[in-house]
Structures are given as structure tokens and as C-alpha cells.
Chains A and B, each alone.
Chain A
Amino acid sequence: GAVVSQHPSRVICKSGTSVKIECRSLDFQATTMFWYRQFPKQSLMLMATSNEGSKATYEQGVEKDKFLINHASLTLSTLTVTSAHPEDSSFYICSGEGATEAFFGQGTRLTVV
């Protein structure tokens, strides 16, 4: 299957700082990638749809100014959590769609202290 690489896998940052998470499709081109958030013992919730060369589409309730998404190329999307607070601590996962099915990155566990 296709490979989606996400980096970093784990990050701890201080409250008020920004954190960037990268999501790369290694062996396919993705005009669309997706970002999800997962709180402990809960399911994955779609945050936003990242569109190559255009603005991201955010789900209701997701602050676009806090979660900045850039999809600069067909193989790279980035999520920047700005002015992070402890409540932003979560597991963030990206995905890209291959020819038929979606493939997910390894996830990034963000802890804001």
C-alpha cells in the first residue's frame, strides 16, 4: 500500500509556542490530504481538508487561525498549531487518498505544558 509519513511522532512544547507537523505522501501524489485529531480513548475527528494550492476547508468548530494548514505541493501538507495551550494536547493524524483507499500517517502526539 501507499505510504504516508508524518513527522514528528512526538512533541512537547511550552504553552504559547507554535508547533508544526508535517505530512508527506512518499509514493503517490495527493491533491487532497486530511487532518484528524484524536483525544484519549476517543475516535478520530476530522479537523480539516487540505487542498493543494488552495485554502484548507475546516470542519465546524475548528479554529482556522489556530490550526494553520498549508498544502504547498502534491506530496506535503503541514499543520501548525499556533499559540498552543494544554487543551490542544492530543494525537494528530494526517491521511492521503491513494487511487481508492486512504492511508494514514503514524500520528503526532502533542503535549503542551
Chain B
Amino acid sequence: GIQVEQSPPDLILQEGANSTLRCNFSDSVNNLQWFHQNPWGQLINLFYIPSGTKQNGRLSATTVATERYSLLYISSSQTTDSGVYFCAVDNFNKFYFGSGTKLNVKP
């Protein structure tokens, strides 16, 4: 299957700081999504972004499919941004998840 690597594995930020999370994948994909897993385990869809750039409020994402990576930008971070961020790629209708980035935003 496809290998999905996320970095960094852990990130501690002061409230208000910006951050960039990275997702590398090993093969061509049909779909790439970013998720935020809240403390209760719910996966919240952030972006569906197989290519290009999208923005939603303080969050934005860019996927460069030809170079097999995606970036998630979080600006002006808030304590409610804390949690685990997953990148997942879809190839032949199977989702492969990265190991996640655990973000802790301190007040």
C-alpha cells in the first residue's frame, strides 16, 4: 500500500503562533484529505485537496501532487486547535492514514 508520512509528530505552540504540517506520500493518489481528530475521537474534515490550494478561515492547505506532498497551514493558532491532525490519501478506494501530528496550543 501507499506510505504516508507526516511531520512533525509533535508540535507545541504558543497561542497566536503559526505552523506548517507536512504530509508526504509514496505514490499517485486520487484523493487527499486533512482531518482534525478531537479529544473524543471524532474526525473532522478539514480539506479535500487532491491538488492545488484551498483556504478556510485560519486554515489553508496546498497539495503538490507531482511532488507527492501536502502542507496544512494553521495561522494565529488557538487552544481549540489542539488535537491530532491526520493526512489520508485514497488510492483505488482505500484510505491510508499518516501517523498524525499531535498539536498542543498553549494559552
Chain A residues with CB under 8 Å of chain B are: 1, 32, 34, 36, 38, 42-46, 49, 91, 93, 95, 97, 100-104, 106-107, 109
Contacts and interface: CB of A to CB of B under 8 A. Distances in A.
B43 A93 contact: yes
Interface stretch (B16-24, B62-70, B92-100): B92-100
Given A49-B94, A100-B31, 7 more contacts: A1-B45, A36-B95, A43-B97, A101-B33, A104-B45, A106-B41, A107-B43
Interface of B: 31, 33, 35, 40-43, 45, 48, 86, 88, 90, 93-100
Contacts of B96: 46
Contact of A49 (B40, B86, B93): B93
Contacts of A36: 95, 97
The 3 A-B pairs with the shortest beta carbon distances in the complex, nearest first, are A101-B48, A104-B43, A107-B41
A48 to B, nearest CB: 11
A1 B48 CA distance: 11
Nearest to B41: A107
A99 B40 CA distance: 27
Contacts of A46: 94-96
Judged by DSSP, the binding face of A is strand
Contacts of A101: 31, 33, 45, 48
A101 B35 CA distance: 12
Contacts of A38: 41
Contacts of A104: 35, 42-43, 45
Contacts of B48: 100-101
Contacts of B86: 43-44
